[in-house]
């Protein structure tokens, strides 16, 4: 059986065919749609059914989409797994090496979900990028306000609050009076900060400051509009194809609608792709890596993985750790005793993703009756420790 290996670049594709005995002549094709179809016809004439290619940036995506339509069995491979010895590689040799490994069955393919999930993933990642753009625009507006010596952002909890947006709108319209601007600040802030509010709104505003603020504020409204459009597209797909999975995921503490949609987009909502929950947490980069030598553990840091899935799981873990009466809140507080809050948050994210695997694979909602568990032995040791510390204080002359 003949197989093919593709070495995909931005402007060229090197195509090699292996029949098990030798690798035939390597052909080079441009990356135009017509050329990719021409390559597909050539491979069909040669009797090739299986093709493997490296996941190089985004260049593999159009090649995959076109060849998938032509009926080939495709495998996407991590370049790290099949890279050759430095100094002894070329584009031609890369294509030949991929074809040889595919024929011998030595390649492990990456997860490439179906078309619906790929479409949802495209919207989901655009949503994440738009959120970053909105944050960047607000940081720019805060910088402009500070150039005007408007210090209201120092008195509010975050720079994208309603009070800050109201003040920006008034400055753009030409209003620069501290007394009038103070009327647009939330009453709670006025009551708590008093005259500091008016002092923070007394600035030196020039025309170019207003112009820069206006441009940035227009960008903010554009990104907000696009964010709502992208979210509606995500909801449309999830309501049509993944309603059951959405309900199951939203039963987990810390996971709401947007988080559930992003988890479905990244995992495909099909847990058969992962043998167990450990495979999923490792794929997301939330599991400690294996770095052991001579019986000693060198590092326990998390592995590299799907950064989009890891991001949303950490955000959900933060929400779950602040939910009153939640198992994850008590577990987070326990972990914070012996490790940093960031490491504890990663541990909670891994536990959430483990629960996600079980919920989606077993098709059962999260059991909300799970109560915080306390190890009696650990409680006993804590009591002994605190009693010992109290005795030390008494010996130093402190009366309790």
- The Cα–Cα gap between 93 and 75 comes to 19
| Distance (Å) of CA 217 to CA 126, 135, 204, 308 | 20, 12, 19, 27
Residue 239 above 90 pLDDT?
A: yes
For residues 172-198, one letter each, b for 16 or more C-beta atoms within 10 angstroms of the residue's C-beta and e for the rest, the string is: beeebeeeebbebbeeebbeebeeebb
Per residue in 95-104, pLDDT (tens digit) is 888 998 998 8
Average pLDDT on 12-29 reads 90
Cβ-based neighbour number of residue 254 at 10 Å: 21
Residue 86 above 80 pLDDT?
A: no
Residue 70 above 90 pLDDT?
A: yes
Residue 42 above 60 pLDDT?
A: yes
Residues 6+ away with beta carbon under 8 Å from 246: 238, 239, 257, 260, 261, 264
Q: What is the pTM of this model?
A: 0.83
Cβ-based neighbour number of residue 233 at 10 Å: 17
Per residue in 308-339, pLDDT (tens digit) is 999 999 999 999 999 888 889 988 988 898 88
Residue 230 pLDDT level (bands cut at 50, 70, 90): very high
Average pLDDT on 379-400 reads 84
Q: How confident is the model at residue 300, as a pLDDT?
A: 72
Average pLDDT on 395-400 reads 78
Residue 301 above 90 pLDDT?
A: no
Residue 249 above 90 pLDDT?
A: yes
In this structure, of 279-288, 298-307, 344-353, the range with the lowest mean pLDDT score is 298-307
Residue 94 pLDDT level (bands cut at 50, 70, 90): confident
Per residue in 128-160, pLDDT (tens digit) is 999 999 999 999 999 999 999 998 888 888 888
Extract the tokens encoding 175. 């209003």
- The Cα–Cα gap between 100 and 94 comes to 10
Please report, rounded to a whole number, the percentage of residues in the chain having pLDDT higher than 70.
95
- Homologous superfamily (CATH) of 3-103 is ATPase, nucleotide binding domain (3.30.420.40)
What is the CATH architecture of 117-238? Orthogonal Bundle (1.10)
Per residue in 161-216, pLDDT (tens digit) is 888 999 999 999 998 888 888 888 888 888 888 788 888 888 899 999 999 999 99
Burial class of residue 39 in the structure, from the number of CB atoms within 10 Å of its CB (0-12 exposed, 13-18 middle, 19+ buried): buried
Residue 372 pLDDT level (bands cut at 50, 70, 90): low
Query: What are the sequence ranges of the domains in the chain?
Result: 3-103, 117-238, 242-362
Nearest residue to 253 (alpha-carbon basis) of 148, 187, 327: 327
Residue 298 above 70 pLDDT?
A: no
- Rounded mean pLDDT of the chain? 89
Q: How confident is the model at residue 186, as a pLDDT?
A: 87
Average pLDDT on 63-72 reads 95
Q: Is 159 or 33 the better-scoring residue by pLDDT?
A: 33
Q: How confident is the model at residue 293, as a pLDDT?
A: 64
């Amino acid at each position: 059986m003949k197989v093919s290996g593709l070495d995909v670049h931005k402007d060229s594709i090197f195509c090699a065919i292996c029949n098990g005995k030798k690798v035939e002549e390597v052909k080079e094709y441009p990356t135009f749609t017509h050329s990719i179809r021409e390559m597909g016809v050539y491979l069909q004439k040669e009797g090739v059914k299986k093709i493997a290619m490296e996941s190089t940036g985004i260049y593999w995506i159009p090649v995959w989409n076109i060849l998938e339509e032509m009926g080939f069995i495709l495998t996407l491979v991590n370049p790290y797994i099949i890279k050759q010895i430095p100094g002894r590689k070329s584009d031609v040799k890369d294509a030949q090496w991929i074809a040889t490994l595919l024929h011998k069955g030595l390649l492990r393919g990456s997860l490439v979900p179906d078309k619906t999930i790929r479409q949802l993933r495209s919207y989901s990642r655009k949503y994440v990028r738009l959120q970053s753009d909105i944050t960047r625009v607000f940081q720019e507006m805060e910088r402009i306000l500070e150039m005007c010596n408007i210090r209201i952002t120092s008195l509010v909890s975050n720079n994208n609050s309603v009070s800050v947006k109201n003040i920006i709108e008034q400055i753009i319209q030409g209003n620069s009076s501290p007394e009038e601007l103070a009327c647009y600040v939330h009453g709670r802030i006025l009551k708590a900060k008093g005259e500091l509010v008016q002092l923070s709104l007394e600035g030196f505003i020039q025309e170019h400051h207003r112009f820069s603020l206006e441009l940035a504020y227009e960008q903010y409204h554009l990104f907000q509009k696009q964010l709502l459009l992208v979210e509606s597209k995500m909801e449309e797909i999830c309501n049509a194809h993944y309603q059951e999975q959405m309900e199951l995921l939203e039963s987990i503490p810390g996971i709401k609608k947007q988080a559930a949609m992003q988890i479905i987009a990244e995992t495909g909502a099909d847990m058969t792709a992962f043998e167990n929950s450990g495979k999923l947490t490792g794929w997301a980069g939330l599991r400690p890596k294996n770095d052991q030598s001579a019986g000693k553990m060198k590092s326990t840091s998390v592995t590299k993985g799907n950064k989009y899935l890891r991001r949303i799981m950490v955000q959900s873990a933060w929400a779950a750790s602040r939910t009153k009466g939640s198992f994850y809140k008590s577990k987070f507080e326990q972990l914070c005793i012996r490790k940093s809050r960031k490491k504890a948050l990663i541990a909670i994210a891994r536990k959430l993703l483990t629960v996600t695997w079980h919920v989606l694979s077993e098709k059962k909602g999260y059991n909300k009756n799970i109560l915080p568990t306390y190890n009696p032995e650990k409680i006993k040791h804590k009591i002994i420790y605190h009693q010992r510390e109290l005795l030390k204080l008494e010996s130093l002359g402190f009366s309790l």
